Amino acid sequence: MKTIGLLGGMSWQSTVSYYQAINQGVNEQLGGLHSAKIILNSVDFAEIEKLQHAGLWNETADILSEAAKSLQHAGADFLMICTNTMHKVASEIDSCIDIPVLHIADATASKLVADNITKVGLLGTRFTMAQDFYKKRLTDNFAIDVVVPCESDQTIVHDIIYNELCNGHIIDSSRGQYVQIINKLFKQGAQAVILGCTEIALLVKEGDTTVPLYDTTAIHAHSAVQYALKG
């Protein structure tokens, strides 16, 4: 079994989901008392969030690259960046280490392609929805058309993530707002919607809407299990 390096804490709420899903996945595959070999470096998200909103992405890359190097030095065989937004600096992190990085967008896109999804809605932080680093990867590498909410709905989605979900606050009215936005994306032609922030699945789940949802945390964690156990 390969040792998984988790670069987490963005936020710690969703890192808990990663840890649980990966260990459950390994146990389902191997049975008995088996669990995953994991090394976790959990950063202080307040530092990252401040730099994000100031547009200081190079500084976030420096922090996360140092954390990634520590995971490699501790014995991780590959790296998982436990957040969608900070894949904006995935290439900078990747260039600083010698172990593979399993990209969350690639894992999600592979699942979409397998399910014959060619047009998908994307929810996430404003950075993920508005900037090209995530959407362009899906389009250029997997021929998936991506639609995002209007600007006012992006504000709702973004603010709920940072003000509520990252603090562990799960509010029914916010779930209702998300479902309305998901339904709008469906009306724009999206065959499904990516929950493209690792906290969103804490709020919205299958059954809350008839629109198919792709939980990036679960998909990314599953890819870690498969990679860790493959020969």
Question: Is residue 108 among the annotated active site residues?
Answer: no
Catalytic-role residue among 15, 60, 83, 217: 83
The C-alpha angle with vertex 39 and arms to 34 and 41, in degrees rounded to 5, equals 145
Say whether 85 is catalytic: no
CA distance 79 to 181: 32
**How many helices (H) and strands (E) would you count in the chain?**
10, 7
214 burial via Cβ count (<10 Å: 0-12, 13-18, 19+): buried
For residues 91, 93, 94, 99, the Cα torsion angle rounded to the nearest 10 degrees is -160
CA distance 210 to 224: 28
* Distance in angstroms (rounded) separating the CA atoms of residues 47 and 39: 21
Active-site residue, from 197, 198, 216, 217: 197
Question: Which residues are the active-site residues?
Answer: 83, 197
